[in-house]
A and B are shown apart, each in its own frame.
Chain A
């Protein structure tokens, strides 16, 4: 298994509170991604990073921010959690650069419930 650790694995939080999810990798891969998984929607890209301090938005980025200060860590922050952000969040990593079509390796996921 790829060395990806997501923390926490489960979290329940209240509406309006800030929440930070952490993804830590030991593979020294350049690219990191945050996806959310919701029934009937598959997985959707939130944000991704192509290097330290280099990030970009994905399909469903509203209400989320990210930071990457070290190669191994990619943080996802919900500034003010809403019930619509109740979901399972997956971190993924991939090698690069220039390796088009290279596969992504996924973490075990974080189940976030906003009440």
Chain B
């Protein structure tokens, strides 16, 4: 079975500050890992994905994440927060089945203050 733990249901930062959203996973096989963002009343949009290539993955809107096998982590970072980054962020792991049946974390709401 796979699982994802996102530490912190809410994270608050000031505009211009570093964004760090934490994700730890458990998987019995090499995982495929994803970060999605959800704006209010919207569907989910893929930010970035790790599929066993480079461990440092760059995504859209200046976000990146680093896969650390030894720590079973896939934390999401952005050097400088913008007001438009305020949204809910989900980390997800895919089953080792060839499909995209995703197991999601519970989500982290990012709040950005001026």
Which of A's residues lie within 8 Å of B, judged by CB? 4, 31, 33, 35, 40-45, 48, 50, 58-59, 90, 92, 94, 96-109
Contacts and interface: CB of A to CB of B under 8 A. Distances in A.
Contacts of B98: 96-100
B52 interface: yes
Given A4-B43, A94-B100, 4 more contacts: A43-B92, A96-B99, A103-B34, A104-B102
Nearest to A92: B100
A100 B32 contact: yes
Interface residues of B, number: 28
15 contacts: A4-B43, A31-B100, A40-B9, A40-B106, A50-B99, A90-B43, A92-B100, A98-B98, A103-B46, A103-B100, A104-B46, A107-B43, A108-B42, A109-B42, A109-B43
Given A96-B98, A96-B99, A99-B98, A42 B43 contact: no
Contacts, number: 71
A101 B43 contact: no
B58 to A, nearest CB: 15
Interface of B: 4, 9, 32, 34, 36, 41-46, 49, 51-52, 90, 92, 94, 96, 98-107
Contacts of A44: 104
Contacts of B103: 45, 59
A48 B51 contact: no
A100 B51 contact: yes
Contact of B101 (A33, A98, A105, A106): A33
Contact of A43 (B9, B51, B90): B90
Contacts of B9: 40
Given A45-B101, A48-B99, A58-B101, A106 B44 contact: yes
